[in-house]
Structure formats: C-alpha cells, structure tokens
C-alpha cells in the first residue's frame, strides 16, 4: 500500500464530507480489489464476494460519519468488510451446508492435488480457487477471517489486530489455532502429516 494513501484518503474523505459525493468513487477504485479479495477469501464464491463488496462500500459511505480517523481508512474499511462477511457466514451456518465428508467425496482429488503443490502455479484455475475456499469454509469464521487477512491479504499481525479490534497475542493465537485446525482436518482426511 502506498505510504501516501492515508493522507490522500483523508483529503478525499474531507471532500466527501463537504458534499462532493463523486470523490467517494476514488476510494472505491483504490480499495475495491482488496475488499473484493477479502470477501472472496471469506465467502468462497465470486458472486457472493461481488455482492458483499458492493454492500461494504454502500455501508462505508453511509457510515462515514462514524469514521473518526483513529486508524487508517483502509483499516476501518477492512474491519467493516470482515464484520460484514462474518455476519453473512453466521447467516449461512444457520442453513445446512455440505459436510466435510461430502466435500472430500466430491472434491477429494483436487484437495490432494492442492496439497502436493507447495505453491500454486501462476494463473491458478478457478477450480483450484474453489477447492481452497471450500477448505477454508470448513474453519470457524474467526479462524477463516484471520487466515484470510494474513495469508490472502498479506496484512501484518499488527494490522490484523487493528482490523479485528483485538490484541496482538489474540491474533497470533487465532492464527496458530486456525492452522492447527486446518492441519488436523487434512491429516484426518489424508492420513498424513500435512501442516
């Protein structure tokens, strides 16, 4: 992220608050890709990520008065995004979802192929992305969030702590538990040590 971004964001926000609603579009352009990627990482489907990203930017616009500037605008926006996606995930868990066994039955070969490749090749297929997201979907929402912010968004532990409004120790503990939980699921399925 550009070091000038917080200052530029502050200037744009000042213009928006002064009535220049068109200025908000520059913030949407600047952060759309990262917000979409966070939504995609948490929700696991392109159409859901598109809808969620749009909802986030509408919410952010209507809640700009709540942004006090205590943190960077991007941090506030990521917090808003992760909370929105967590709400969607909670609503989803109230509905019946595919079981882990069903996932393995239908996508077991892709899971094994994913694990055999230490790094995904350039131009990762949509199929592989779906498999990764299906694996992540099996994690508790708070673990999925922290893994997505760290591994897919590349945020530092400190940034994640700020986004989730929690302590650095809590972030580290959640990451450790998330990686362990994912490793246990994979070990159970594949019968080998994975993580």
Taking only the tens place, the pLDDT of each residue in 98-111 is: 444 555 566 666 65
**82 assigned to some structural domain:** yes
CA torsion, ordered 163, 165, 167, 170, to nearest 10 deg: -80
**54 assigned to some structural domain:** yes
**52 assigned to some structural domain:** yes
Tell me how far apart the alpha carbons of residues 139 and 142 are, in angstroms, rounded to a whole number: 8
**74 assigned to some structural domain:** yes
Predicted confidence (pLDDT) per residue in 134-172, tens digit: 677 778 888 888 888 887 778 889 989 988 889 999 999
Span 93-120, mean pLDDT?
Answer: 53
Hey, what are 86's tokens? Answer: 């967590």
Residue 125 has pLDDT above 80, yes or no: no
Cα distances (angstroms) measured from residue 155 to each of 17, 23, 38, 116, 152: 28, 26, 11, 26, 8
**113 assigned to some structural domain:** no
**111 assigned to some structural domain:** no
Distance of CA 100 to the CA centre of its chain: 21
**69 assigned to some structural domain:** yes
**145 assigned to some structural domain:** no
Domain that holds residue 10: 1-95
* Domain count along the chain: 1
Hey, what are 184's tokens? Answer: 């246990």
CATH number, domain at 15?
1.10.1740.10
């Amino acid at each position: 992220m550009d070091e000038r971004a917080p200052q530029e964001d502050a200037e744009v926000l000042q213009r928006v608050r002064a009535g220049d609603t068109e200025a908000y579009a520059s913030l949407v352009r600047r952060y759309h890709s990262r917000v979409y990627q966070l939504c995609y990482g948490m929700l696991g489907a392109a159409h859901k990520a598109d809808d969620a990203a749009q909802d986030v930017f509408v919410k952010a616009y209507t809640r700009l008065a709540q942004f006090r500037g205590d943190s960077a605008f991007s941090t506030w926006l990521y917090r808003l995004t992760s909370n929105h996606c967590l709400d969607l995930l909670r609503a989803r868990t109230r509905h019946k979802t595919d079981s882990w066994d069903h996932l393995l039955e239908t996508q077991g070969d892709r899971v094994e192929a994913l694990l055999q490749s230490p790094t995904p090749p350039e131009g990762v297929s949509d199929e592989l992305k779906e498999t990764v997201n299906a694996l992540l979907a099996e994690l508790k929402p708070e673990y999925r969030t922290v893994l997505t912010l760290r591994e897919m968004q590349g945020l530092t532990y400190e940034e994640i702590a700020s986004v989730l409004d929690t302590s650095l120790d809590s972030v580290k503990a959640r990451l450790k538990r998330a990686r362990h939980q994912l490793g246990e699921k994979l070990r159970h399925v594949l019968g080998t040590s994975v993580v």
